[in-house]
């Protein structure tokens, strides 16, 4: 399998190359050159397959030439072996239409574990003996802990994770700072999340430093992360009647990574009715899909911080298909977007996207009502991100064919204040993570200064 850049200028890579590169050298994102097909017979057999078996079937054609069957099976077993639930991503019925797909049974209680547990193993596998990489990232919460948990203790990898001092929740901070491994370095930056991101960007733009340190990224532009996420769409749909019945999904969306994995599943032949893109009030994707207006505004902080974004980096992957897979045309569109902060989708592009995607914006009241409904009518405590997804799903149920699955992207105990405000119930942490409050925290405090950060990384990498 070959991977090509959405901007058409970077060389094609195999799965190993695309995984280690993350971003393509022309600024584009990697996509497989073709979509492998899941036949109806294969989907039928997956109805009784384990999560690991489904993962193997889905991923195998994408990793061809880079991993043997035995290697892929081992990596899958290691990635999903210590999830806190035997089903890995269990389905929960809410009422006659609505289901939840719980994606938060990994080590850090958010769906990012599903992708990053596998990515950590892939990095470990692909780095030949003696080869070293330095992962540098910025986090506003869930990505940081999931990435740290995925690479802690792995030879050849050192990770530096930046978070804005005092601006992540206590649970989120402790999930990063209590990991006691010599290759993990937490940095609390005196500044905002945007400052952290700008610092990381400036390091990646410093080519000599990038080469010296072998910098690598783990954000959701990495194709391998999306690949891992295709699996749970197939797993859920095959349990709810695919290939004989369509299934729809509502996806709490920020960077468009999770919902794009659903698009990949549909391209592979999974009978997805509709994919509902659920946004909070930071609604650039809802505006783009509903009105063709992809223009950047100001980020408004909400109770769903992992969806507080303006630019959704993975949207470029859908735009590639909407531009007829013409990398040069998309590169021109993206250059104009980067210069002006706006992009208009044509009527034809919007109609094409609308065959599969719907979009709904959910405000704080809608999110709180969904949390209250799930608690009082179904006895389920949801996290606020999942609440945005469920509110959207209930608002648009008439347009969603088949059973409707809302992706439950985080455990409610990660966001206890918002959950308690909506339901009056304080969610408790699962027993397997209660150690968080007993362990010592380790982090460095640094100013928002690129030179200070580089010196720190040189000293500790």
Site residues, ligand PLP (CB under 6 A): 110, 112, 142, 220, 252-258, 306-307, 385, 409-410
Instruction: Compute the chain's Rg from CA coordinates.
Output: 21
Cβ atoms of 427 and 416 within 8 Å: the answer is yes
Exposure b/e, 178-211, CB count within 10 A at least 16 = b: bbeeebbbbbbbebebebbbebbeebbeeeebee
Of 254 and 327, nearer to ligand PLP (C-beta) is 254
Residues in the chain: 461
Decide whether 76 or 258 has the Cβ nearer to ligand PLP: 258
Select 112 or 457, whichever has its Cβ closest to ligand PLP.
112
CB of 44 to ligand PLP, least distance (A): 29
Minimum Å gap between C-beta 137 and ligand PLP is 13
Which of 286, 280, 287 lies closest to 302 in space, CA to CA?
Answer: 280
Closest approach of ligand PLP to the CB of residue 449, in Å: 28
What distance in Å separates the CA atoms of residue 150 and residue 132, rounded to the nearest whole number? 16
In the complex, the smallest distance separating the C-beta of residue 289 from ligand PLP, rounded to whole angstroms, is: 14
Q: Which of 24, 35, 32, 34 is nearest to 334 (CA)?
A: 24
Closer residue to ligand PLP, CB minimum distance, 4 or 255: 255
Q: What are phi and psi of 410, to 5 degrees?
A: -145, 155
Q: Supply 249's token pair.
A: 């999904």
Identify the burial level of 103 via C-beta atoms within 10 angstroms of its C-beta, where 0-12 means exposed, 13-18 middle and 19 or more buried.
buried
The tokens of 266 are what?
């549909």
Q: Provide, rounded to whole angstroms, the least separation between the CB of residue 258 and ligand PLP.
A: 4
Give the shortest CB-209-to-ligand PLP separation in angstroms: 27
Could you tell me the sign of the dihedral formed by the alpha carbons of 55, 56, 61, 66, in that order? Answer: positive
* 454 annotated active-site: no
Distance in angstroms (rounded) separating the CA atoms of residues 241 and 35: 22
Strand order across the beta sheet in which 157-164 lies? 215-216, 133-138, 157-164, 184-190, 444-447
Both tokens assigned to 117: 């547990």
In this complex, which beta carbon is closest to ligand PLP, that of residue 105 or of residue 385? 385
Catalytic residue among 112, 355, 414, 459: 112
CA distance 52 to 38: 16
State in angstroms the smallest separation of the CB of 210 from ligand PLP: 24
3-state secondary structure of 113: helix
Nearer to ligand PLP, 252 or 269 (CB): 252
Evaluate whether 217 touches 160 at the Cβ level (below 8 Å): no
Question: 56 or 104: whose CB is closer to ligand PLP?
Answer: 104
Using the minimum distance from each CB to ligand PLP, give the nearer residue, 110 or 199.
110
* Structure token pair of residue 134: 């330095």
Q: In angstroms, what is the minimal distance from the CB of 232 to ligand PLP?
A: 13
Q: Quick count: other Cβ atoms within 10 Å of Cβ 371? A: 29
Helices 223-239/112-126 angle, 10° precision? 130
- Eight-class DSSP state of 346: -
How many whole angstroms separate alpha carbon 115 and alpha carbon 32?
Answer: 17
Active site residues: 112
């Amino acid at each position: 399998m070959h991977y090509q850049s959405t901007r058409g200028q970077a060389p094609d890579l195999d799965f190993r190359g695309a995984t280690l590169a993350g971003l393509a050298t022309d600024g584009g994102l990697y996509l497989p050159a073709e979509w492998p097909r899941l036949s109806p017979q294969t989907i039928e057999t997956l109805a009784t397959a384990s999560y690991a078996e489904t993962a193997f079937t889905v991923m195998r054609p994408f990793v061809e030439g880079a991993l043997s069957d035995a290697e892929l099976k081992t990596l899958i077993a290691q990635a999903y072996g210590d999830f806190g639930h035997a089903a890995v991503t269990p389905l929960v019925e809410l009422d006659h239409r609505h289901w939840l797909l719980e994606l938060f049974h990994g080590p850090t209680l958010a769906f990012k574990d599903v992708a990053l547990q596998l990515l950590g193993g892939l990095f470990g596998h692909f780095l030949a003996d003696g080869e070293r990489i330095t992962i540098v990232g910025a986090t506003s919460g869930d990505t940081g802990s999931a990435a740290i948990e995925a690479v802690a203790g792995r030879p050849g990898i050192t990770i530096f994770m930046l978070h804005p001092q005092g601006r992540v929740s206590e649970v989120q901070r402790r999930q990063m700072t209590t990991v006691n491994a010599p290759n993990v370095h937490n940095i609390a930056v005196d500044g905002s999340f945007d400052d952290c991101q700008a610092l990381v960007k400036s390091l990646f733009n410093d080519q000599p430093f990038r080469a010296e340190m072998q910098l690598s990224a783990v954000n959701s532009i990495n194709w391998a992360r999306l690949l891992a996420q295709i699996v749970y769409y197939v797993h859920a749909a095959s349990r709810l009647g695919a290939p004989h019945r369509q299934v729809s999904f509502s996806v709490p969306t920020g960077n468009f990574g999770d919902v794009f994995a659903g698009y990949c599943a549909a391209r592979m032949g999974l009978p997805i009715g509709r994919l509902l893109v659920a946004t909070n009030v930071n609604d650039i994707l809802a505006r783009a899909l509903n009105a063709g207006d992809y223009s950047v505004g100001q980020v408004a902080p909400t109770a769903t911080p992992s969806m507080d974004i303006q630019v959704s980096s993975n949207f470029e992957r859908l735009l590639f298909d909407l531009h007829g897979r013409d990398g040069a045309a998309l590169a021109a569109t993206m250059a104009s977007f980067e210069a002006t902060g706006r992009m208009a989708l044509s009527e034809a592009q919007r109609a094409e996207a609308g065959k599969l995607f719907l979009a709904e914006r959910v405000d704080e009241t809608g999110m709180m009502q969904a949390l209250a409904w799930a608690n009082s009518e179904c006895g389920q405590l949801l996290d606020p991100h999942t609440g945005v997804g469920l509110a959207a799903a209930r608002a648009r149920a008439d347009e969603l064919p088949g059973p409707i699955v809302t992706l439950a992207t985080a455990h409610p105990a990660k966001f206890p204040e918002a959950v308690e405000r909506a339901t009056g119930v304080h969610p408790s942490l699962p027993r397997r993570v209660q150690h968080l409050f007993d362990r010592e925290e380790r982090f460095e405090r640094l100013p928002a200064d690129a030179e200070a950060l580089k010196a720190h990384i040189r000293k500790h990498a």
